């Protein structure tokens, strides 16, 4: 995936686009994360990004970038379909890594704390 495509994906869009992306991300985020969890080496950062993107105190431009990246992550069909084991999430990882690098200063400790709590709840219980 080249820089141009990633740049196009991460465009924050207008208010209507951001609202549509937020609804889509909220509806599909957790099921998609559960499928990708073992292949996603930075799941904590992705979940913290989710909380940052849905935090109304986060600047609109940052929320737009994160929602675009998370929206790409939750889409069932993208550049490399997620149904292909191991390689299916590589494009998603590239987009998410780029977005997190661009806005990392906006992901606060409280977003990571919420991510830790959510990941603890989502983790399969070992018995």
The answer to whether the pTM exceeds 0.75 is no
64 HSE (CA, 13 A, CB side): 14
Is 41 or 11 the better-scoring residue by pLDDT? 41
Question: What is the predicted pLDDT for the residue at 87?
Answer: 55
Helix (H, G, I), strand (E, B) or coil at 55: coil
Per-residue pLDDT tens over the stretch 14-64: 778 878 888 888 888 888 777 776 566 788 888 999 999 999 999 999 999
pLDDT tens-place string over residues 68-87:
888 888 876 554 554 444 55
DSSP code at position 41 = T
Written as six digits, the tokens of 37 are 């969890």
Structure tokens at 95: 């987009």
Alpha carbons 119 and 51: distance in angstroms, whole number: 12
């Amino acid at each position: 995936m080249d820089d141009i495509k990633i740049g196009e994906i991460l465009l924050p869009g207008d208010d209507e686009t951001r609202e549509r992306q937020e609804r889509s991300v909220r509806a599909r985020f957790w099921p998609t994360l559960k499928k990708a969890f073992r292949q996603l080496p930075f799941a904590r950062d992705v979940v913290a990004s989710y909380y940052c993107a849905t935090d109304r105190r986060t600047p609109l431009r940052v929320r737009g970038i994160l929602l675009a990246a998370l929206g790409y992550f939750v889409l069932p069909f993208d550049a490399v379909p997620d149904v292909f084991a191991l390689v299916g999430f590589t494009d998603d990882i590239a987009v998410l890594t780029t977005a997190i690098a661009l806005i990392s200063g906006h992901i606060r400790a409280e977003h990571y704390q919420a991510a830790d709590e959510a990941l603890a709840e989502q983790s399969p219980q070992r018995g």
